[in-house]
A and B are shown apart, each in its own frame.
Chain A
């Protein structure tokens, strides 16, 4: 009886140790994990997750310093994909970080009101706004990620969000 019991317990312990070893990640693996997480994120670079970009959020997720439901632009699909990748409980996006957009939105500058101050250009994380000092500024719609970081700096409030062109 005792030898059988010890054998079973020993086998179970060995299997568990093997499983734990297999899922542990070395530093190389950590870098790869961050890449894998970053590949799932929408690259909006908006900062709504409270980190300064998508990659910092990916790093925090890899270090278990953030939860998977902090990315509104990614939507619930991204939250679930992150949960699947990291082996955590899937949950919908937490509304405290922002609302999930129903349609993709892009920024649009009302050119009749633009004063050419460069503030929105400096704010755009993906250089999607073209213009120069005292020249017209305009958003390249195909490259706008919808992060809305250009809206607060504008001194004349001439930027609005519109549905992305098909």
Chain B
């Protein structure tokens, strides 16, 4: 078993409650809301107009830039509107969204002929993956085709399929691996082909035996020796991309760099399954598995949900709120976003919805000054000194924040969890990052300006020297002629 993350915490998982029941589809809803900017990169551009009839799986928005993604309709019906709607990934302002009125007939687009992926060239496969609207379903929603294209391709590239679902409450990946392990393995093999890679590791935590046996069986059925299953200790945040790469491959992703810098591409198990559904079955990304959990909802389970389903409908589908409902969280208990209301759609990043009651929440007590006990430094998976970062954040000392590695903070919340003074550390660091980023950006543009200035000075000098050299030559020739 891999040694796992340095620091970190052993947390109560709270996952058994939502994995007792098998996965089932969510009940259909009348209206689905698809924000156009629900993936990383440029917002998608609508391809449809209000009033237009659309089918399930039909592309309704195309990529809006080099890093962007396709959007497909999760249901058949009509485009009710294209207008700003509240969305959980941008709570400051509504996002422009395509609103789909579901006609309930579930008519799908005609399927085009598909070739087995082994017969495609890697670039072709990457392009096809992009057209499926596939983005990272672990939460970062980075367009998968862009990630594959920017990675170095070749025999030493390693594919890491991240099934280490470390954050408490979230169990959607676990259910996926238990019930659809073959899809995960198929997707992994397709992704290997897209990268021309020869190594693939599927990493899971050591507290998910059903997933382990399901994946083991699926890998055996695939008869592909390049795919291995590895387990990591279930310490939060073992599933963090950097921590997992270090645990499995024993290399560190450079600060400010990407896994591609260490020849690794890391993708979530859900992303791999989505690739399988598109490449093998012709179904673009229109659904995802969502965990509905927490003491504030009657029934805790996983559902397969069409994108755009309102969160309120999901809760209703699970029996509704209990009287103890207190806080609505999208995500897990350590990094999840607290939502102001439930009139928001499921987006590609929605892995879990916690209807939290007082039993689930362990809120902070009143904040006291830092006593420098060092608990935070002990648990930090990025090997930072949070007590120093806190001290410098209080004084807004950007120099020292940079020296002490604020930008390397992964905002996992471990330091927050152990602080006896109950200081909201993760929130403070999140708040200080924009100021530091601004300063780094200013420094970068100053460096660029210096380079251009030096180049211009050199160019002018060269032109002047050439001019003087040409003059001198002319004078010489004239002198020769006259003599």
Contact = CB atoms under 8 A, between A and B. Distances in A.
Contact of B452 (A38, A41, A54, A128): A128
Contacts of B251: none
6 contacts: A42-B446, A42-B449, A53-B453, A125-B453, A127-B456, A143-B452
B435 to A, nearest CB: 12
Nearest to B439: A77
A126 B447 CA distance: 11
A59 interface: no
Nearest to B399: A81
A127 B455 contact: yes
A145 interface: yes
Contacts of B445: 142
B445 to A, nearest CB: 8
A128 B445 CA distance: 13
B453 A45 contact: yes
Interface string A110-138: 00000000000000011110000000000
A53 B450 CA distance: 10
Interface string A42-54: 1111000000011
A43 B455 contact: no
Nearest to A164: B445
A142 B307 CA distance: 37
Interface string B428-462: 00000000000000100111111011011000000
Contact of B450 (A43, A127, A128, A142): A43
A51 to B, nearest CB: 13
Contacts of B449: 42-45, 126, 143, 145
A126 B446 contact: no
Contacts of B448: 143
Contacts of A45: 449, 453
Contacts of A145: 449
Interface residues of A, number: 15
B447 A43 contact: yes
Contacts of B455: 127
B455 to A, nearest CB: 7
B392 to A, nearest CB: 15
Contacts of A38: 450
Contacts of A125: 453, 456
A43 B446 CA distance: 5
Contacts of A126: 449, 452-453, 456
A10 B455 CA distance: 54
A41 B449 CA distance: 11
Most chain A CB inside 10 Å of its own CB: which residue of B452, B455, B456: B452
A145 B450 CA distance: 10
Nearest to A126: B452
Given A41-B446, A143-B449, 17 more contacts: A38-B450, A42-B446, A42-B449, A43-B446, A43-B447, A43-B449, A43-B450, A54-B450, A54-B453, A125-B456, A126-B449, A126-B453, A126-B456, A127-B452, A127-B455, A127-B456, A128-B452
Most chain B CB inside 10 Å of its own CB: which residue of A41, A45, A128: A45
A56 B445 CA distance: 20
Most chain A CB inside 10 Å of its own CB: which residue of B445, B447, B449, B455: B449
A44 B447 CA distance: 10
A143 B447 CA distance: 11
A143 B448 CA distance: 8
A45 B446 CA distance: 10
Contacts of A143: 448-449, 452
Most chain A CB inside 10 Å of its own CB: which residue of B446, B448, B455: B446
Interface string A23-66: 00000000000000010011111000000011000000000000
A128 B456 CA distance: 11
B354 to A, nearest CB: 35
B443 to A, nearest CB: 8
Contacts of A44: 449
Contacts of B447: 43
Most chain B CB inside 10 Å of its own CB: which residue of A42, A43, A53, A145: A43
Contacts of B442: 42
A125 B456 CA distance: 7
A127 B453 CA distance: 7
B234 to A, nearest CB: 43
B120 to A, nearest CB: 38
Nearest to A81: B399
A79 B442 CA distance: 16
A125 B449 CA distance: 9
Contacts of B453: 43, 45, 53-54, 125-126
Nearest to A145: B449
Nearest to A41: B446
B205 to A, nearest CB: 42
A19 B448 CA distance: 37
Contacts of A41: 446
Contacts of A127: 452, 455-456
A143 B442 CA distance: 12
Contacts of A53: 453
Most chain A CB inside 10 Å of its own CB: which residue of B447, B452, B453: B453
Contacts of B450: 38, 43, 54
Which 3 pairs from chain A and chain B are nearest by CB? Answer: A43-B449, A126-B452, A43-B446
A126 B459 CA distance: 12
Nearest to A128: B452
A36 B156 CA distance: 40
Most chain B CB inside 10 Å of its own CB: which residue of A38, A41, A145: A145
